A and B are shown apart, each in its own frame.
Chain A
Amino acid sequence: MEQTKILSLHQLSKRYGPVQALNGVSFDVPAGSVFGVLGPNGSGKTTLLAIVMDVLKANSGTYSWFGQSAHHTLRRRIGTLLETPNFYHYYSAVRNLEIAAAIKQHGHDDIERVLKLAGLWERKDSKFSTFSLGMKQRLAIASALLGNPEVLLLDEPTNGLDPAGIAEIRDMIRELGKQGTTVIMASHLLDEVEKVCTHVAIMKKGVLLTCGHVDEVLSSEDMIEVSAPDAGKLEQALNTIPGLRSLRRHNGGFQIVLDNGQTAEQVNAYCFEQGITLNYLALRRKSLEARFIELTN
């Protein structure tokens, strides 16, 4: 059975003067997924999310939410944190959330819950202008959570947060994903995405490089980690190994990706033939970081 699509993009393009920020991007976000949009700075992640929230206008292409043409009432079903926390500086956390709740057409009864969830209840009456960057980010997350939205759209949600805050947000996203909330998250922190996402789309310079389930994107991309007492000699040998696709230094050793069919045993044998005795050999699933670097370089 085909999965329900929460968000569908079709050939979205956006240009800022001479800069092509998005170039014909198309993909679908399945319901219930934790969907990571990855890309280096300037890859078009925020532009993409801003277009689907109607704050930027695409030059061409279309998108739909919940299988329907874009409409402002549909945005009330989505909790969004886009780029920076945007609030009235002269108002307290509570007053700001009252305005957000009124626009979303929710009552004020959920404000206490989301402020407690974001760890801001004690500062509920403090002016937004007195908040630290991390607190502003927490308030933006609280605002996005108002009314238990069906979809969360988070752009760099851990910006400005301390390590404990990052872990809290990560756990929260994972938990919401388990409860069935669809989470769309843009980030350049790959570790963060790899830990929580079920699906990823990788972008570079406005172009979609790959998209799909994390397992699909990373499939057949096993990686072999090796090290030897003489790293220089090992590197020389690895560079001549048949079927080598990529090689990079990692923790004093090397991570290599070979064409399909090559095994760790064959690598060991090859090195031995070259007069190198390995002191470390391990088969690893390629990390998202490695896959990302491979795709974006």
Chain B
Amino acid sequence: MLQFLIRRSISAVAIMFLIAAFTFFLFYAVPQDFAALSCGKNCSPENLAVIRENLGLDKPITTQFWDFMVGIVAGRDFAVGHCSAPCLGVSFKSGDFVWDSLMDRFPLTLSLTIGGLVIFLLFGLGTGMLAAWKRGTVVDKLASGASIVLSSFQIYLLGPIVLGIFVYSTGWMENPKYVPFTDDPSAWFIGLLIPWAVMATIFTAQYTRMSRSTMIEQLQEEHVRTARAKGMSQKYVFFRYAWRGAMIPIVTILGLDLSSLLAGGVVTEFTFDLAGIGRLAVESSLTKDLPLTMGAMLFGAFFILILNILVDIAYAFIDPRVRLS
């Protein structure tokens, strides 16, 4: 198991390196003068030269690549100051370090993800399992029906409706806003309640459907029948035998969903006018702020890799066949 973890971590680092290299060269394949992009509309040749030197664009591309990679690992110096590791470069537009901009936005994205996750796991898995338990009854039909309807909704539709009801017409709540948890936990909670609820509704619907169908599948497994033939109670069989097997597909999907949420829930952030990583990435790409785009992408790739490893570890915990092979 430890061997497996070490091997996976080594390969994750290698993949991260490859992704960084790949994006770097894609970045240079763009036929644009980055200095000009950074300089703005009324740019004098002198300014341009200074910017080139500051960004290191006057050096050969291999040197630039080396500097870029070293920067990620050990940090590097720019004219504007020292950029400590992991250094992803300097934003063309704001002149800030990319890493700092990402870190500015990350707490919000993390808060959105965690809050949503708790809600949709609780409700999604709960409803799904209840529907599987009561398969064929009114409860099941209601849950399945509602989940199909709700999972076809979109955040950008549901969001404004909820805002319209709870904020604009009744005034029960304020517009969603982000207050750091460390500043004021209750403000943090209240400020994000609507985005969480809306985001979680759609995920809840998806997780209800998935957990219901995997539970039903598992309940038909032969080893589940054996457990019943031994005289174990229905509840015990349901939670010990069937649930264990149902966890595997759920963990797989959860890993994928989480990594994309952590890389930035673009739609949620725009819908509720919140400034998270997703929004940063989209805006940077609209303004052709390439270092920032690249940084956001690498940041997302990092989560995909980490969650991949976490999912594999989870498999090993759930299924001894994985652990012992």
Specify whether A and B are partners: no
